[in-house]
Structure 1
Amino acid sequence: MDVDLHADLRREVAFRALGAARVLLTVDSLLDDVRGAAGAGQVEVAVDQACVVIAKLAGIAVMRTGGEIDDAGDYLAFDPYSALPPDDAERVTELFSLAVRVLDGTSAPDELTDALTAFATDLTTRMGYERLPELRRAEGLFPALRLAREWLPVVDLLGLPDLLPTAWTREVR
């Protein structure tokens, strides 16, 4: 695994740990929504959800390069496009253009879902993972929790945002 030794350690850990958590907890389910809506012929719903996926993926990419790390607070103020690397900015622009073409009927929804999946896979590879477990599948839950458990001490030590949703970690009385 190649590591840029000049990168800010907090950003690198955020990208790899929080990025993986966001893919597992948010992006994967949104991609399922896009696929489901496209399969049901609900093109507008598919494109709407695809635009959310694009923003989420951009928000993951910028964690490594100077963008905001914590997206949990004020969603209106969070800018997933600040500090977006040029290659990712081009890709994000192409994805939004493809979404418009799907809406006007000049591209198929499957093209959009394939392109979104490819971007998510590319980001996962850049995070250093060959493949992330699928949290929404029975066989993926424990590998996902194992991955989180490995990152939790480092994330806490560096003062990064919580890796897991608060509802998963609060004490039940």
Structure 2
Amino acid sequence: MITLVIIQGSLEDIAGGVRAGQWRMVAAQTRQLVLASLQVSGLEFGGEPFWQENGGALDQISCAPEPLRVQGFALVHEANELANDPSGADSWLARLEEWAGLVQRGLGVDENLPELRSPQGMFGGLRLVRGWTETVDSLGLPPLLPSDWTKPL
């Protein structure tokens, strides 16, 4: 779940931020991407699951492989520098995507993760369902999604 939601979502945010020139958002999302990626990759080597909402008194990235940590933190540092000089943003983004791909392949995920936040991704499907809900309700048809799926958390 961390891989799909946090890492893939962050990658999409970062790519959009690079296109829009939102360098502080790019830096913040890169930090989140790298920390989540290192935490997940460290699980294979004895790391413990960590959920930011619940906190925890452990170093969630200490079990990640050293080369991944070094490369990841270098990418975070470079993301912070993009605000001063964005000229290398495209090549930096390509290296970040390649690094995230290494992490995913280390987890046994050999295919690109599906898009989440684009019209072609899951959010586009939710938008379609949301638009059809009124029509389905007005015709007295059963709901498109089970009611358990649509309850507020």
Coarse TM-score class (shorter-chain normalised): 0.5 to 0.7
| Equivalent residue, structure 1, for 2:14 | 34
Say yes or no: does 1:128 pair with 2:114.
no
Q: Give matches, 1:64-79, under 5 Å.
A: 64-71=44-51, 73-75=53-55, 77=57, 79=59
Which protein has the larger Cα radius of gyration, Structure 1 or Structure 2? 2
How far residue 128 of structure 1 moved from its aligned partner, in angstroms, is 2.0
Deviates more, 1:118-127 or 1:97-106: 97-106
**Consecutive unaligned residues in structure 1, runs of 5 or more:** 1-20, 142-169
The 2-side partners of 1:106 and 1:34 are apart by 13
Match of 1:63 among 17, 20, 43: 43
- Secondary structure at the aligned position of 2:82 is classed as helix
The 2-side partners of 1:109 and 1:80 are apart by 28
| Equivalent residue, structure 2, for 1:93 | 73
User: After the TM superposition, which parts of structure 1 deviate over 4 Å for at least 4 consecutive aligned residues?
Assistant: 137-141, 170-173
TM-score (norm 1): 0.59
| Equivalent residue, structure 2, for 1:81 | 61
Name the amino acid aligned to 2:23: V
Cα distance 1:100–1:65, how it changes in 2: closer, same or farther (>3 A)? Answer: same
Size of the aligned set, in residue pairs, is 125
Name the amino acid aligned to 2:5: L
TM-score (norm 2): 0.66
8 Å CA contact retained: 2:8, 2:113: no
**Consecutive unaligned residues in structure 2, runs of 5 or more:** 123-146
Fraction of identical pairs, as percent: 18
- Secondary structure at the aligned position of 2:75 is classed as helix
Cα distance 1:107–1:68, how it changes in 2: closer, same or farther (>3 A)? Answer: farther
How far residue 121 of structure 1 moved from its aligned partner, in angstroms, is 0.8
Higher relative contact order, structure no. (Cα contacts within 8 Å, ≥ 6 residues apart)? 1
